[in-house]
Structure 1
Amino acid sequence: MMHRGRHRRRRRGVALRAVLTGTALALTAAATLISTSQAQVAERPGALTPLTSPADTGRLRLRERLVPARTLDRLAAAMGRPVGVDSVLADADRTLRTGPDCSGADRESLPVEPSPTRAYCWDPADTDATDWRPASVTTSGDADDDGVWGTHRVVLSGWNHSTRTGPRAERGLARVAFVDTDDPGRPAYRWVLLVVPVDGGRDYRGLGSRVSSMVWYQDKLLVTARRGGSAALYVYDLDRIQRTTVDAPAVGRVPGGWSADGYRYVMPAVGSYSFAAGRCSPTGPPCPGALSLDRGTAPVSLVAAEWTVPGSERAARLWRYAFSTDPRRAGLLATNAAGQADAVEEYRTRVTGIRGVLSYREAGAERTSWYVGRLPGSRDGHGGLWRQDTRGATAAECGADATHRCWAESAGSLSYWQETGEVWSLSDRMLFAVPLAELDRSLG
């Protein structure tokens, strides 16, 4: 199994800042304010309500199920020795374009306030006339406290395929773009398809579940599961990426070898977490729609937000789990002797349609701030981003009518890169970063 190095790199100083400043100016000049017909001032969600009763917290208990090592070893023996992140990045075959080189439609999907300091659009082959859509982001800033994985600065972006349109073999699949951002002016990426081992490791299938959010911590990638089955989260090992051997429109074992619908790499799940109380529902466990990592807690914690329909009256839940501190359980949640993980904090919020969540406490602050990015009630156009705590809520205002719909169009998850001070997110067309300090300034 491959292991990451701990080669800390310092930021690239003046050269990097020059690239980012130029991009920020271009994006600011190109940004388009939301039209009056589109703008709607959202009702203020107010303060977070702490939940402490066993009836509430008990619904959040997870049960861990790890794939047997013999299953993973059997798959590796058949497919060949697993590879790691470095091998995928070295095989990058597509390039992201910087903001000024992106189309007007691409740039209009970016936040209005605050303006991103760096932004990228994808290779047209991935966005033009396809049924794939981006939804989630995490970085090597989550994975390691120095922000570097091996020798690289890496962004992972999760995409989902439509379940109703496109080639039948691709419907409902999930894939991850492994983006090498060592050169901020020309990031390159490669796709890896998410799969699940079956038949004791003799085969695999596509994940077949919408990945609305994900978190990379140590050598594990945790992703949301929101379609079919009772799993709440799937777990992947970044050191267990497998190469395929056959280019065919199928996923799994095929005559002559292993296929992944044309993808060169697959990552098989190594475990999952399901709610002990059953499948998610309005009266039961919450459907996790957004995830992020909080390095400000001890131990480091996984933050989650419940998915509710935009504009509905049902309050959503925000909560967190602690990660294990046992070196033998790197990247897994802390569990008891029965293999169960309990939430260590829980709130209710009146924000609906949550697609992104962060929690962060500034040094010396009394309370933790929770940032929640939401879709608009109409599910189109720009969404909003609220900062909440137990005393109240604030949001950016933009446009002539001071709407709160200032965040990105169809915005996805949020990820805080502690080493650089940036919050990464994505619209339905672009990947972008905003300094947390600028985000806080815009929120008032």
Structure 2
Amino acid sequence: MKQRGRHRRQKRGRAVRAFLAGTALALTAAATMISASQATVSKDPGGLKEVTASAADFRLQERLVPQKTLDRLASVMGRPVGVRAILEDTDRFLRTPASCTTAQRTALPVEPAAARAYCWDIADTRGWRAGAVTTSGDADDDGQWGEHRVILSGWTRATDRADRPGLARIAIVDADDPANLTYTWALLAVPVDGGRDYRGLTSAVSGMTWYQSKLLVTTADGLYVYDLHRVQRATVDSGRVGKVRGGWSAYGARYVLPAVGSYRLAKGGVRPAAISLDRSTAPDTLVASERVPADSDRPTRLWRYAFSGDPARAGLLATDAAGRANATEAYETKTTGVGGVLSYASEWYLDRAADAGSGHGTLWRQNRRDADATECGTDGSTSCWSGGAGSLSYWEETGEVWSQSGQMLYALPLSSIDRSLGERE
């Protein structure tokens, strides 16, 4: 049965790649509406430098929510539902480029151009800030979650204080049909009172990776862990969060995802701001970068953790006897303002935000020897990537890199990125 399923998935993968090829030219025209002359030439950061800092700088302490707490919450809220049930219940849709505004499309990369793109309904996302993206290509090496292709898009509720992010939610997107993406919302939550209630997670969702059944989300003090087998239904549609009269509310979302654990930073530890999965390592690893202001003279640190190979700990990080996850390697880069990080086959890809409030950012490819960035226009500009630095997620089965900038969700082949960056010597 597994072999027949893989044949179906390979056929579907070919259909997706055909769709990418058929839409690339239209998106190229949309992206190049932005003049490259608005941008500047970024300073070459050179090669990565291996870090010899203390292991404690990158150490995370695992804290799992007691099983009794999770079971109590499931008991009072009702039996959890799976991703498949959610995909059968999507109530919103993403728009194709022809239905997106010019202002929305200007967030797309200039070079290389997106192969396909979608925009969110402005009314549905008003007051929320787009963040990280991960896919079923991260969750399973065959690119599917069961028989479905799925995208998870993270959002943070805007507040009047930049240092105090609001609630966090994810869009669970049915991506089976590339021409018709539909989705619904799930609020990220944290169990409280021994599982008798929950509160909303208040964190800027700048990093997010779905591996096996677990979803890892960056927070101000480490990572929160969610289990895609433990999605709960909200029963009351209101602006409140948690137990309310008549049932359970999730700030207007139809589903709630309660945390099953967390990884907390050691005192003075380096905070992961962007994360992604690297399937080119053995075992698979979680890569991370910190956020250093674009105008800073301090280097940015990059590092990775191994995932556990224990079937009983599927989707969790490898830890020592004390429950500590330790980095397996770490580097420094002179690239600052990093909003997205990706590592694959010994190469690191860093999404750097635009220098100004508008314009385009830079995508750097680095290894221990050197760094490359795409040039666009006649002035040698390297500001060719999306305007707002967003997370990067590699869907290995289809060869796509997914990202999000402003109101645009988009994908392009990793091979097109490498071609734009040039061949390694």
**TM-score, structure 1 length as denominator?**
0.90
Look up the match of 1:281.
none
User: Is the aligned partner of 1:439 residue 2:423?
Assistant: no
For the 8 Å contact 2:37–2:381, the answer to whether it is kept is no
**Cα distance in structure 2, aligned partners of 1:49 and 1:171:** 33
Q: Which amino acid aligns with 1:149?
A: W
More displaced stretch, 134-143 vs 8-17? 8-17
Q: 2-side partners of 1:346 and 1:380: how far apart? A: 32
User: Is residue 308–residue 318 contact of structure 2 (8 Å, CA) maintained in 1?
Assistant: yes
Q: Describe how 1:26-105 pairs up with structure 2 within 5 A.
A: 26-32=26-32, 34-35=34-35, 38-53=38-53, 55=54, 57-105=55-103
Compared CA separation, residues 7 and 194, structure 1 to 2 (3 A): farther
Offset of 1:76 from its aligned partner? 0.5
Tell whether 2:184 aligns with 1:198: no
d(CA) in 1 for partners of 2:165 and 2:389? 22
**How do residues 277-426 of structure 1 correspond to structure 2 at under 5 angstroms?**
278=267, 284-361=268-345, 368-426=346-404
Aligned to 1:163: 159
2: CA distance, partners of 1:210 / 1:440: 30
In 2, distance between residues paired with 1:437 and 1:21? 13
Change in Cα spacing, 1:58 to 1:14, as seen in structure 2 (3 Å) is closer
- Asked if residue 246 in structure 1 is aligned to residue 236 in structure 2, the reply is yes
Q: Which runs of 5+ in 1 are unaligned?
A: 279-283, 362-367
Q: Deviations over 1:161-201 (max 9, x none)?
A: 11228xxxx97011101111110001111111100001111
Q: Contact 2:365–2:371 at 8 Å: present in 1 too?
A: yes
Give the direction of change, closer, same or farther, for the CA distance of 1:13–1:49 in structure 2 (3 Å limit).
Answer: closer
Q: 1:96 to 1:11 in 2, by over 3 A?
A: farther
Which amino acid letter does the alignment assign opposite residue 350 of structure 2? V
Q: Distance in 1 between matches of 2:211 and 2:36?
A: 42
Contact 1:212 1:355 in 2 (8 A): yes
**8 Å Cα contact 2:83/2:229 also seen in 1:** yes
Cα pair 1:135 1:411 within 8 Å, conserved = no
From 139, 159, 163, the equivalent of 1:143 is: 139
**Aligned pair in 2 of structure 1 residues 314, 5: CA closer, same or farther (>3 Å)?**
farther
Amino acid of the structure 2 residue aligned with 1:219 = S
8 A Cα contact 2:13 2:397, kept in partner: no
TM-score (norm 2): 0.94
Partner amino acid, structure 2, of 1:67: V
Asked if structure 2 preserves the Cα contact closer than 8 Å seen for 1:62 and 1:273, the reply is: yes
Change (3 A) 1:99 1:5: farther
Q: What CA RMSD, in Å, does the superposition of the two structures yield over aligned residues?
A: 1.9
Change (3 A) 1:15 1:305: closer
1:52 deviation in Å?
A: 2.8
* C-alpha contact 2:59 2:265 (8 A) present in aligned 1: yes
**Once the 2 structures are TM-superposed, how far is the Cα of residue 380 of structure 1 from its aligned partner?**
3.1
391 and 270 in structure 1: CA distance in 2 versus 1, 3 angstrom threshold: same
Contact 1:315-1:348 at 8 Å conserved across structures: yes
Query: Matched residue of 1:10: which SS?
Result: helix
Aligned length: 417
1:119 corresponds in structure 2 to 117
How far the C-alpha of 1:62 sits from its partner, in A, is: 0.8
Q: Matched residues in 2 for 1:375 and 1:106: separation?
A: 17
Distance 1:384 1:209, change over 3 A: same
The amino acid that maps onto 1:202 is R
What 5-or-longer segments of structure 2 have no aligned partner?
A: none
Distance 1:30 1:323, change over 3 A: same
Q: Counterparts of 1:166-177 in structure 2 under 5 Å?
A: 172-177=166-171
State how far apart, in whole Å, the 1-side matches of 2:4 and 2:203 are.
33
The AA in structure 1 aligned to 2:133 is V
Deviation at 1:61, TM superposition (A): 0.9
Structure 2 CA distance for aligned equivalents of residues 275 and 6 of structure 1? 44
CA apart distance, 1:13: 6.5
Task: Check conservation: 1:291, 1:413, Cα contact below 8 A.
Answer: yes
**Cα deviations by residue, 1:247-290 (Å, 9 ceiling, x for unpaired):** 122001112211111211000000000112x1xxxxx3222110
- Which sits farther off after the overlay, 8-17 or 433-442? 8-17
- Residues 297 and 36 (structure 1 numbering): CA distance in 2 closer, same or farther, change over 3 Å? closer
Amino acid at match of 2:404: L
Change (3 A) 1:251 1:113: same
Report the CA distance between 1:153 and its aligned residue: 0.5
Aligned equivalents of 1:212, 1:93: Cα separation in 2: 25
C-alpha contact (below 8 Å) 1:33/1:399 kept by paired residues: no
Counterparts of 2:17 and 2:36, CA distance in 1: 35
Alignment-derived partner of residue 267 in structure 1: 257
Give the drift of 1:35: 3.6
Q: Does residue 213 of structure 1 match 2:207?
A: yes
Q: What is the match of residue 181 of structure 1? A: 175
- Residue 33 of structure 1 and its aligned partner are, at CA, apart by 5.1
Offset at residue 93 of structure 1 (A): 0.6
Give the Cα separation in 2 of the matches to 1:328 and 1:147: 22
Percent identical pairs in the alignment equals 62
Q: 1:251 to 1:171 in 2, by over 3 A?
A: farther
